[in-house]
Every structure is written in C-alpha cells, then in structure tokens.
Amino acid sequence: MILLLVPLLSMLVFFSYSEWANAQGFHQFLDNKIALKEIKLPESSFITAADGTIISEISADEKRIYLPDDKIPAFLKDIFVTIEDRQFYQHAGIDASAVSRALLANSQNNSIEQGGSTITQQLARNLYLTHEKSYNRKLSEVLYSYQLERKLSKKQILELYVNEIFFQNGRYGIEAASRFYFSKETKDLTKAELAFIAAIPNNPAKYDPLTHYSDTKLRQERILKQLADHGKISAEEYKQIIKETVVLHVSRREDKYPDYVTYVESELEELVAQSEGLNKDLSSPGKATRQQAKQRLAEKIKQLKQSGVVVQTALDTSLQETAEQTLERRLNTVPVQGAIVVLQHNTHQLVSLIGGKDYKLKSFNRAFQSYRQPGSAFKPLLVYGPYLEATNADIDRKISAASFCENGYCPKNYSGGSYGMVSIRRAFAHSYNTPAVRLLQETGIEESFQKLAAFHFKKVYEKDHVLSAALGGLTDGVSTLELTNAYSSFHNGYYQPARAITQVLDKQGNVLYKWQDSPVQVWSEPTAKKMKDLLHETVTSGTARKAYLPGGYTGGKTGTTNDVKDLWFVGLTEDYTAGVWIGKDHPASMLNIQSSTPHLAIWKEVMEQVN
C-alpha cells in the first residue's frame, strides 16, 4: 500500500508546487510569513600591522572569507551542481523527481534517510532552519527554498551556497577552507585540489582530510568520475587529474603577537563605545543603565567582528619581535615577569606592547591590566613637572636633601643618608626622596595632582592625595601603558594618548571608526625643556646610566618600590617613549636581581632597534 501511494504523493507534491508557482495569493502569503531580509553571512575580520600584514583573524563564531561569484572558479561551480543538484538551473527550488526518489527510499526503510534536497534547499536549511530529520522541517525547507528562488537569481544562490557550507575544522565557505588546508587562495587551487576540497561538505567529519585523508581522496575521485560521466571534463582530463598528488599545506597560524592583539581587542571596544556614544551610560551610577550599555556594546562588537572588517594598527612587527625576545632572554632564568610598552610620541601611535614572558592570547596582560606602585618613576609627573610649572625655578636651584619628618611621615633617602643642600638636577638624577617630598609640599598636593588629571590614571584616587605619593606610594598604582603614555608629554609639553588602532575599515575600504583625540597642553615649553634636561641627566650621570644611548637624545627615570618589589624605567629618545616594568605577579622582593638592572638592560636593547 505504501509503495502504491508513493507515486500519488509525488504527483500531489509536483502539482501542488505548480499551483503555488501560479498563485498570486500564495506569493503574498509567503511574503507575509517568510519575509527574507538581506542575507549577510558572518565573515572573519582581521587585525593588521603597520605594514599591512595580517596578525590576527577575529570572528565571533564562524571563520569565513566571503568570495563573490566572479571569483568562484567555474570548475568548482560545475562540481557542486553535478554532485548536489543537476537540475539546479531548471527547477524553482525543489526537484520533484529527487523528492520522489527520496520518498520511495524512506518508505522502504521506514525512516527518513534521504531528503532529495536541492542546493537551494540546503542553503535554506543552513540559513534559516535546523538539521532535524522530520517531514515538518522538510516542508518548511521547501517553502523557504521557493521564497529564495523568487527573491534571488541562480547565480546569487550558488554564490551564497559556496560561501555558506561547512568544510570542517571551523572553516565555512570555500575561501577560508582553501587558505586553511592549502595555505593559498581559491583562485590558485588546481582542479585536483578543488575537487578534493569539494569532497568535504558532504560529510565534514567523515571527509576531514586531516584525519581521514584517504576517504577524502576516494570521494574526490568519485566526484571527478561524475564530472567525466556528465561531460564536464574529458576522459583524458579525468585520468590526469586523479593522478595528481594532493598535498595539504595546513595553515596552523596562531595569532601572531598575542600581547598586542589582546590589547587591540580591548582598545576596539573602547573606540566603538566612544564613537557610538556609550561612554556616559557605561559609567552611569545606575546598574541597569550600565548593564544595558554593556549589552549594546557587546552586540555591536559581535556584529563588527562578523562583518569582515579590517582593524589597522600601528604595530611595528620587527620592534615587537625584538621586545618579546629581549624580555624572554633577559628574564629566562629568574622567576619574575615583565612588561614593555613603546610608543611613537610624534604620531601618538602605540608601536609595541609586551604583556609578559611566554604570553598567551587573551591571558592577563601586564602591560595594561596590571597596576603597580610606580616608586620614584612617579616623581617627574607629580613632583618635578608641577613644581617647575608653578615656580619656573632653575633646575640648578638648591633644595634640602636632609632628613624629613612631619606628622609621623618620615621618608628616607635610598641609602639612608642625609645629603644637605643639593641642586634639583642632582636630586632628580640620583632619585633622592626627601627633596621630592619637600618640593611636593612646596607646590601643594592638590595643585600637583591637578596636573595628573590630563593623564586619566584609572586607579589614582582622591585618597592618594598625600605626601607619600611623591615617592609613588599609591593605593593601587599605575599600569606600564599609563605611565609610558604620561611620560610622552615631556617630549613637547603636550599629551595625547598613544593608540594601537589607526582606523577600522569595512570590506569596501570605507572608514568605520577612527580615534578623534586632540592634544592637551600639560607643560609649558620651558617646563618641558627643563624636564627633558633632568631626564637626560639621569641617564648620563644618575641612576639610569646603563640605559644611555649614544647619539641623539636619551632621557628617562628609574623607579624602585619598597623591598625591591618593582623595578621601573621609562625613557625617551627623539622619536619614542618606552616603559619597562619588572616584578612578580604576587609582589615579592627581587633584591637578588636588582644589581643586574634588568629593566635598564631590556630598555636599552629594545630602543637600540629604533634609535
């Protein structure tokens, strides 16, 4: 009885389909129930270095590189039409004969094994439906397929299909698969390679070439045989192609420069939030408002990452490699960590950032996520800069370096000695503590901290407005990136945060996002010049002599916290400002390595690369 009913059901499907095609009312029904919007497949986005090289592929879920119709090889189109849907260019979404065959097979097996799906049906299923094996889902698939055929051309449908299908190992679409399995673009694949890679989507797990190469090769040969049988290639060409050895060149490229990429993704959120006007809500005192803003930002970032954008950055790959190798080598034998930040202060670009030894993508990044006591490295910003700005004093003016004690606060000079009256120049270069406290007191704590407002230190609080801040005694501290950014203001008196991202482009090359920062004057020209002189004095005759670079300008300031838990050096050359931090993730003494001054050695070696 079932066998007798199968032809009747097939005829019913066929004539019903014909009636649908001629019924205007049904079209209106479909338009109301299945209103197909513009189809945009999720695509991978990329981060590039300053020289344009790709350093990271970012995507929310699917790794896909969309390939337009005119760049899809005709041979590949022939393959998919031949093996998946030979009536593709004749039918209007479903193939009645294929459906009949599937119904007959399923009735004989008393199960749903075959679907008789056309390319259009497969596309509809992947775009809008599930892979559940049921007649209800199949009917929905037919309706969506018919609607797709009404709205799109055959060329558009095949283009979407080739870009949508899954090629295993997280790759969707032919271009992403080609670059992964063969490390080249689809246009450069041979016919043997095209047929081999086209074998995968039929059963991605079974035909995964990384684990079942021989199965994939056998299916490739069957595909080529079908092409020969249907006149798409000659018998002679068939023999030649199957003899070609298919060699995989798998692109297992992990994200290059993970320290920098991790920061770029963080900065991207900041850029989008600022550009979309979300900053106010993100910092709102209302919890609900903040949460809604976070959700909007997260959705915006997800959409951006899925739209095939290019995030262009200022990364100097050569300098980044030097910095990474230097940190690893210099700290290889000691149980300490480090961070390096290098920025180009004329262009306000972040050209290198190292987040730690043996850094892994999206792990804790010590360059911008770690906040530590800055020690004496804070003196130029909070003490000497504000003092010179307020008084216009000569740097050879004398200041007491004798013992100091007030209201129970009695800081000591590093050696514990009392040096009497010394010049500001000497006090700075040798990092005496008591003169710094006296200068902060003379300028005024509040006035000095007002100068810091321009730098937007995230974890410098009002409760830090005390005399001990002159020596870097803060509640939480500062990050290496923050401190290095702030030091760049000594170059010419103006401050503008250095950015990693130069611009974000869409697929057509249009600028979507770009920083709109403006420089803010922090120091007058005389103050900036005096500060550069003091910083230079430190590397020629003070605590940072080991960082001196011959030829051109070099200046900087060291910082050491109590019990040598942190070692800092931030310095400037004519074109760059760079900061180095050395310490343990759980603060502990590093007295055993202090004499080897690893922070100065690392800074000098890195800056020799660009000096």
**Residues catalogued as catalytic:** 84, 376
Buried b or exposed e, range 283-311, using 16+ CB within 10 angstroms: eeeeeeeeeebeeebeebbeebbbbbbbb
**Which tokens sit at 210?**
């990384």
Bridge partners of 54, per DSSP, are 48
Bridge partners of 577, per DSSP, are 343, 572
Which are the contacts of 377, defined by CB distance < 8 A and separation ≥ 6? Answer: 472, 483, 557, 558, 559, 568, 569, 570
Helices (H), 307-358: 317-330
Query: For residues 460 and 449, what is the distance between their CA atoms, to the nearest angstrom?
Result: 10
Query: For residues 314 and 308, what is the distance between their CA atoms, to the nearest angstrom?
Result: 20
Alpha-carbon Rg for the chain, nearest whole angstrom, is 33
Give the CA dihedral 587, 593, 599, 602, nearest 10 degrees. -130
Tell me, what DSSP letter sits at residue 580? E
Say if CB 385 and CB 478 are below 8 A apart: no
Query: For residues 440 and 487, what is the distance between their CA atoms, to the nearest angstrom?
Result: 18
| Strand spans (E) along 275-362 | 310-313, 337-344, 349-354
Query: For residues 355 and 469, what is the distance between their CA atoms, to the nearest angstrom?
Result: 26
The residue to which tokens 């299945």 are assigned: 34
**Which tokens sit at 442?**
């003379």
**Which tokens sit at 135?**
């007649």
Say if CB 393 and CB 387 are below 8 A apart: yes
Bridge partners of 313, per DSSP, are 501
